[in-house]
Amino acid sequence: MKMLRVLLKNLQKGPATDPFPFGDTFTPKGLRARVRFDPAACSGCRMCEHVCAAGAIRFTESAKGLEFTLWHNSCTFCGMCEHYCVPQAIHLTEDWHLAHRQQDKYTMTEIGTVAMIECCECHKRMLPTSRQLTAIAYRGSNQMIERMSQMCPDCRRQLSAKLLSKGASL
Ligand code: SF4
Ligand code: SF4
């Protein structure tokens, strides 16, 4: 009789377990999940590729620039790539909706191209320097930082030497 009462009570209360995937569920705050890449902020240092023990990140060079690919199927969501990325071009989001079929494993990717640009001084083709990194390395007006981030390392070196010889603090 007691058991029957418990059963009826539980039936009235309804399921106690999480309804997912047939209903909504919650996302714990600070969860490390889907990785997002921002090619505009990337300086092409390839540190993320170097620190990724899972081998989930690969850069390849192409005529367009540096092609970034991250395979979510291999990623362990450790967050090391984000931790070591100074210009904050790579982020782990809280989007955990990454379940996929085995045959889709090579398409669970995050891709982006760090496009080659021309140096604004000598017109040599180069990878852009991240604006955020330039702002850390040089103290100057926004205009100066913008210009420096469009320069190849040689032209940047020459300009900073010229400015320093004139007494400017960089
Ligand atoms: S995403 Fe960050 S760490 Fe990776 S290459 Fe770009 S700047 Fe470097
Ligand atoms: S979160 Fe970890 S495993 Fe995933 S790509 Fe970044 S470094 Fe690699």
Q: Of 48, 53, 84, which is closest to residue 69 (Cα–Cα)?
A: 48
- Co-location of 128 and 103 in the same domain: no
pLDDT at 65: 92
- Over pLDDT 70: what percentage of the chain? 98
For 45, the domain range is: 30-115
5 domain residue, yes or no: no
Indicate whether 98 pLDDT > 70: yes
Closest ligand to 44 CA? 1
Instruction: Tell me the average pLDDT across 66-88.
Output: 96
Residue 168 clears pLDDT 80, i.e. is over it = no
Q: 98 C-alpha to center of ligand 2: Å? A: 15
Distances (CA, A) of 23 to 11, 33, 140, 142: 19, 20, 53, 49
Predicted model pTM: 0.81
Q: What atom in ligand 1 is closest to the CA of residue 47?
A: 3
Residue to mutate, 35, 46, 66, 132, ligand 1, most ligand atoms under 8 Å from C-beta: 46
Ligand 2 neighbours, Cβ below 6 Å, are 35, 51-52, 54, 56-57, 70, 75-81, 92
Beta pairing, strands 109-115 & 65-71:
antiparallel
Domain CATH code at residue 90: 3.30.70.3270
pLDDT in tens, 9-68: 989 988 888 888 888 889 999 999 999 999 988 989 999 999 999 999 999 999 899 999
